[in-house]
């Protein structure tokens, strides 16, 4: 919470503790939903208990629908309540949020709460729970509006009006034929602009943009971003409508995916709340110490070439220049490859790798020429310059290969490519760069001395 | 374009060249808007000329509104047309897109096209053009629906119906008082659920979430993401409504900002289309060669300690281990700091730096202990282990300081912190790490030998 939020929070907390139910409701219900959730999640448990009494089930349910704290937190809030109140709230929540929440519960909690729900809802939740994580099915909601294609504008509007309080989005109405196959979509905009007696079939858009229930959420987000929709329908392979995904969920997916890519590149989770330095250190340490061990192989490789360094200590001067430059180039390739993997078809992937390697060769040659000239001017040794130059060109090319190949291989074997982080690639590239450098130096050692 | 799109493209292109106007229109207009824009942008100029003739101005205008190619491309398409057609399309476009487009034109082009627009529109565009880039004002549109607070549901619905074809979003209606100050908002959902005779004032939400016209677009996006709105109103300091920002523009901002952060961390632009390796190399080279020069200072620093390395060539073994580990830690700090800067208040920033430095010390101490033990076991030299350990702890701490301080300083002086890229921080950290390492080694040189 920043300062402004904290002031607001203190005001409402004071109102909760000093004013009665009516006055508190007046203050609290005038807040924006997001602010309500922040306050609800941050008051003391006994204060939350008072809020639970002061608000109606519908009001509490809206807060639970909007709560964006960790699911574990939300489950804790439910456990603070009587099972009766908890089940009343759960059965009023939007299906996608409910499924999200139940999906995170322990088996015993899940059994408890599932049993408290109305029978028909249990069935629906079970279905949503069975869709694979990170697919369209897992993030869709089943609260949408659909009508038969022969309904008139007047009757569709009547349906919209009736469903308006429950449906998550009412601005699209999906149109089905007699066999319940999705055949069209009409917008609320079109409904209020068209004549009451027209049927949906007469003005619906038949080229419906839709996604399959098993589609990856990242692909869905990419598509929605391109096509600028407020919601997309989710269908099965026989084109029957199963649910919709709304733009706010798409935004969450985009945010999640971009944070993941970014975290991967940095080799650190960036989405944690403010943490104490101890906890931050604890989170970063395992990865850094793993890389330290990988770095030890580079150290023992240099150790292996100890006699070479003893003969020509000048070689030590260029170690960090070569490993650094190759590491930088490899990180660039990695970033490009990770981004392209997520939106490309598989058969394009070899093209990505090929392009990165060729790019590496071009950059490598230019870097090699530059450094050869610099070393020649500085140390008056063309041989040394060429050793450094050739090594650098080769090291950059190998780093680009590793930077693009490794995340792609990881993706192929089903591991999140973001694990092949920037620090990992640059530490690995240190190893190959040193190997290349000293091998080249070994060949030319007589010219250097 | 992937394979599927290419097939679709070839089909439509064939239809354009072989079928007549009517048949082409049937095929083309049944496509989703995004697909229409992809085709429009990718056909040959003479084919585009045919499309321009086959479609109506309204249909062309919708394509131009949705075109997401570079503004320069769109300007090129306009220049292919007669000025009369171009101005007809421009004057029909949404104000935010129009302002975007005109804002990228050369002065002479701007004058030409601005003069072709209707007088009242010129004024509005001029205003939009004057808002600073990356502020709410620069991305808002002026096509929203606002009503007086005393209008009834029936009359508001009448207004919505009339404006439905022009307004960019009709799902929120903004409510103003007699002095045109924004006092509330009603949703289309509420309008269709409420009684026709109620006035807006009686059921509007008075706690309107709004942003100031000068607010940074990143802050606006962050807020919309939290509050889950489809649009937010933009006001001036006297609470007069100037425009709205719709969720599709928010998605574009999020995408732009996250791509920027990601590109910054990698030190490479990741949002380019597929490029030839030559162009990729050309784009990446300046930055890599700049870092190569910075790396040269590290090299000359090692050179400065040449006599030390000659005495104890074992020192060379640990150079890349220390620079690598510090670089990894610095990259983590950088990623955390860049992410936090964008959403934090300024007075929290010193806390970010303090936390990163303390985290660095904690990690540094653990890494130091580990490496001291490893070196002692490997080389049977506690002194050497301690030199490497102390250097590593200090180098990590300094890297964390640099990783968090530098982007923050850059942000303070108004430079995009993303410029302080991962490769820059790790190259800089190479320099400080080497300095620390050899300075420490110098002190203990007698114990190491």
Q: Which of A253-267, B364-378, B380-394 has the lowest mean pLDDT?
A: A253-267
Nearest Cα of chain A lies from the Cα of B352 at a distance, in angstroms, of: 9
Q: What integer best gives the mean pLDDT of chain A?
A: 87
Q: Which of A70-74, A149-153, B307-311 has the lowest mean pLDDT?
A: A70-74
Q: Which residues pair with B174 in a beta bridge?
A: B146, B185
Chains A & B: contacts with CB separation below 8 Å: 319
A45 exposed, middle or buried (CB, 10 Å; 0-12, 13-18, 19+)? exposed
Nearest residue, CB atoms, A207 vs list B31, B160, B314: B31
The confidence band for A124, taking pLDDT boundaries of 50, 70 and 90, is confident
Locus of tokens 């089909």: B11
- On chain B, the residues whose CB falls within 8 A of the CB of A345 are 2-3
Q: What is the pLDDT of residues B116-126, one digit of tens each?
A: 788 778 777 77
Euclidean distance between CA atoms A257 and A264, whole angstroms: 10
Of the residues A221, A261, A327, the best mutation for testing chain B's interface (the one with the most B CB atoms within 10 Å of its CB) is A327
Helix/strand/coil (H/E/C) assignment for every residue in B177-193: CCCCEEEEEEEHHHHHH
Q: What is the pLDDT of residues B132-148, one digit of tens each?
A: 778 898 888 888 999 99
Fold of A3-133: MgtE N-terminal fold (1.25.60)
| Under 8 Å between Cβ of B231 and B210 | no
- On chain A, the residues whose CB falls within 8 A of the CB of B313 are 306, 309-310, 313, 316
- State the alpha helices, DSSP H only, in A204-318: 217-227, 247-266, 277-304, 306-311, 314-317
Nearest residue, CB atoms, A295 vs list B248, B295, B321: B321
Q: What is the pLDDT of residue A274?
A: 63
Most confident of the ranges B75-79, B109-113, B292-296: B292-296
Q: What is the pLDDT of residue A295?
A: 92
Of the residues B204, B272, B335, B347, the best mutation for testing chain A's interface (the one with the most A CB atoms within 10 Å of its CB) is B335
- Judged by DSSP in three states, B134 sits in coil
Contact B302 A296 (CB under 8 A): no
Euclidean distance between CA atoms A395 and A398, whole angstroms: 5
Nearest residue, CB atoms, B423 vs list A274, A328, A430: A328
Q: What is the pLDDT of residue B21?
A: 87
Nearest Cα of chain B lies from the Cα of A115 at a distance, in angstroms, of: 31
DSSP characters over A32-76:
-HHHHHHHHHHS-HHHHHHHHHHS-HHHHHHHHHH--S-HHHHHH
Residues A428-443 as b/e (b if ≥16 CB within 10 A, e otherwise) read bbbbbbbbbbbebbee
Q: What is the pLDDT of residues A161-186, one digit of tens each?
A: 888 887 888 899 999 999 989 999 99
- On chain B, the residues whose CB falls within 8 A of the CB of A255 are 225, 254, 258
Residue A3 confidence (pLDDT) above 60: no
Contact A227 B33 (CB under 8 A): yes
DSSP characters over A284-295:
HHHHHHHHHHHH
- On chain B, the residues whose CB falls within 8 A of the CB of A306 are 313-314, 317
Contact B225 A430 (CB under 8 A): no
- On chain A, the residues whose CB falls within 8 A of the CB of B323 are 320, 323-324
Q: What is the pLDDT of residue A169?
A: 85
Mean per-residue pLDDT, B193-212: 91
CB-based contacts of B409, cutoff 8 Å, min separation 6: none
* CATH superfamily membership of A146-255: CBS-domain (3.10.580.10)
Strands, E, within A118-262: which ranges? 146-148, 172-176, 182-187, 211-212, 231-235, 241-246
Same CATH fold assignment for domains A3-133 and A277-448: no
Q: Domain-by-domain residue ranges, chain A?
A: 3-133, 146-255, 277-448
Which of A306, A165, A343 lies closest to B190 in space, CA to CA?
Answer: A165
**Nearest residue of chain A to residue B157 (CA atoms):** A192
In angstroms, what CA-CA distances link A169 with A124, A159, A188, A251, A402?
19, 13, 10, 15, 46
Q: Which of A7-21, A290-304, B297-311, B337-351 has the lowest mean pLDDT?
A: B337-351
Task: Order the strands of the B241-246 sheet from edge to edge.
Answer: B211-212, B231-235, B241-246
CATH class of this structure's domain B3-132: mainly alpha
Nearest Cα of chain A lies from the Cα of B149 at a distance, in angstroms, of: 18
Task: Specify the higher pLDDT residue, A313 or A3.
Answer: A313
Q: What percent of chain A has pLDDT over 70?
A: 95
**Nearest residue of chain A to residue B320 (CA atoms):** A320
Which of A434, A408, A404, A437 lies closest to A330 in space, CA to CA?
Answer: A404
Which of B239, B127, B124 lies closest to B180 in space, CA to CA?
Answer: B239
Contact B277 A358 (CB under 8 A): yes
Contact A207 B296 (CB under 8 A): no
Contact A268 B332 (CB under 8 A): yes
Contact B313 A310 (CB under 8 A): yes
The DSSP element (H or E) to which B54 belongs, if any, is helix B45-54
DSSP characters over B293-316:
HHHHHHHHHHHHTHHHHHH-THHH
Which of A325, A162, A92, A201 lies closest to B423 in space, CA to CA?
Answer: A325
The confidence band for B325, taking pLDDT boundaries of 50, 70 and 90, is very high
**Nearest residue of chain B to residue A157 (CA atoms):** B192
Q: What is the pLDDT of residues B205-230, one digit of tens each?
A: 998 999 999 898 888 888 888 888 88
Euclidean distance between CA atoms B19 and B54, whole angstroms: 11
- On chain B, the residues whose CB falls within 8 A of the CB of A270 are 335-336, 339
Pull the structure tokens for residue A257.
């995916």
- Side-chain-side CA neighbours of residue A389 (13 Å): 18
Q: What is the pLDDT of residue B168?
A: 82
What's the full length of chain B, in residues? 449
Q: Which of A76-80, A98-102, A308-312, B396-400 has the lowest mean pLDDT?
A: A98-102
Q: Which residues pair with A174 in a beta bridge?
A: A146, A185
Euclidean distance between CA atoms A170 and A151, whole angstroms: 17
Nearest Cα of chain B lies from the Cα of A108 at a distance, in angstroms, of: 32
What's the full length of chain A, in residues? 449
CB-based contacts of B335, cutoff 8 Å, min separation 6: A262, A263, A265, A266, A268, A270, B265, B422
- On chain B, the residues whose CB falls within 8 A of the CB of A434 are 320
Residue B373 confidence (pLDDT) above 60: yes
Nearest Cα of chain A lies from the Cα of B335 at a distance, in angstroms, of: 6
Fold of B146-251: CBS-domain (3.10.580)
Contact B317 A329 (CB under 8 A): no
Contact A281 B316 (CB under 8 A): no
| Under 8 Å between Cβ of A414 and A277 | no
Euclidean distance between CA atoms B325 and B391, whole angstroms: 11
Q: What is the pLDDT of residues A183-235, one digit of tens each?
A: 999 999 999 889 999 999 999 999 899 999 989 888 888 888 888 888 999 99
Q: What is the pLDDT of residues A351-373, one digit of tens each?
A: 889 999 999 999 999 999 999 99
Contact A284 B258 (CB under 8 A): no
Question: In the 8-state DSSP scheme, what is residue B368?
Answer: H
CA B362 remoteness from chain centre: 34
* CATH superfamily membership of A277-448: SLC41 divalent cation transporters, integral membrane domain (1.10.357.20)
- On chain A, the residues whose CB falls within 8 A of the CB of B331 are 266-268, 422-423
Residue A448 confidence (pLDDT) above 80: no
End-to-end CA distance of chain B: 63
Which of A151, A143, A138, A215 lies closest to A172 in space, CA to CA?
Answer: A143
Of the residues A141, A261, A316, the best mutation for testing chain B's interface (the one with the most B CB atoms within 10 Å of its CB) is A316
Q: What is the pLDDT of residue A26?
A: 87
Nearest Cα of chain B lies from the Cα of A300 at a distance, in angstroms, of: 7
Q: What is the pLDDT of residue A346?
A: 57
């Amino acid at each position: 919470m920043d300062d402004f939020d904290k002031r607001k929070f203190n005001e409402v907390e004071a109102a909760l503790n000093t004013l009665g139910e009516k006055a508190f409701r007046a203050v609290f219900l005038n807040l924006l939903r997001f602010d309500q959730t922040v306050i609800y999640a941050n008051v003391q448990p006994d204060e939350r208990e008072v809020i639970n009494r002061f608000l109606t089930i519908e009001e509490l349910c809206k807060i639970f629908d909007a709560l964006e704290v960790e699911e574990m937190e939300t489950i804790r809030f439910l456990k603070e309540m009587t099972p009766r109140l908890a089940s009343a709230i759960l059965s009023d929540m939007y299906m996608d949020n409910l499924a999200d929440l139940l999906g995170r519960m322990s088996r015993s909690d899940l059994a408890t709460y599932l049993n408290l729900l109305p029978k028909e809802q249990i069935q629906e939740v079970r279905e949503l729970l069975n869709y694979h994580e990170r697919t369209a099915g897992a993030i869709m909601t089943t609260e949408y509006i659909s009508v038969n294609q022969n309904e008139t504008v007047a009757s569709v509007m009547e349906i919209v009006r009736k469903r308006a309080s429950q449906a998550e989005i009412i601005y699209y109405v999906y149109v089905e034929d007699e066999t319940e196959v999705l055949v069209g979509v009409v917008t609320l905009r079109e409904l209020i602009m068209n004549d009451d007696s027209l049927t949906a079939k007469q003005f619906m858009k038949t080229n419906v943009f839709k996604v399959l229930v098993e589609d990856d959420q990242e692909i869905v987000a990419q598509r929605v971003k391109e096509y600028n929709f407020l919601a997309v329908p989710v269908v099965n392979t026989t084109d029957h409508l199963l649910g919709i995904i709304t733009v706010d969920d798409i935004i969450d997916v985009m945010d999640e995916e971009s944070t993941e890519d970014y975290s991967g590149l940095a080799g650190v989770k960036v989405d944690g709340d403010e943490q104490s330095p101890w906890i931050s250190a604890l989170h970063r340490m395992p990865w850094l110490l793993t890389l330290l061990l990988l770095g030890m192989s580079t150290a023992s490789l240099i150790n292996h070439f100890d006699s070479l360094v003893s003969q020509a200590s000048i070689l030590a001067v260029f170690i960090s220049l070569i490993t650094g430059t190759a590491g930088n180039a490899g990180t660039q390739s990695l970033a490009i490859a990770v981004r392209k993997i997520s939106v490309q078809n598989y058969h394009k992937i070899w093209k990505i790798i090929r392009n990165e390697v060729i790019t590496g060769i071009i950059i490598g040659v230019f870097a090699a020429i530059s450094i050869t000239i610099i070393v020649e001017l500085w140390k008056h040794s063309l041989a040394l310059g060429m050793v450094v130059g050739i090594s650098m060109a080769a090291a950059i090319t190998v780093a680009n290969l590793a930077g693009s190949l490794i995340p792609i291989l990881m993706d192929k074997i089903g591991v999140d490519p973001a694990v092949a982080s920037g620090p990992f690639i640059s530490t690995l590239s240190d190893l190959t760069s040193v190997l290349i450098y000293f091998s080249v130096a070994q060949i030319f050692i007589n010219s250097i001395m």
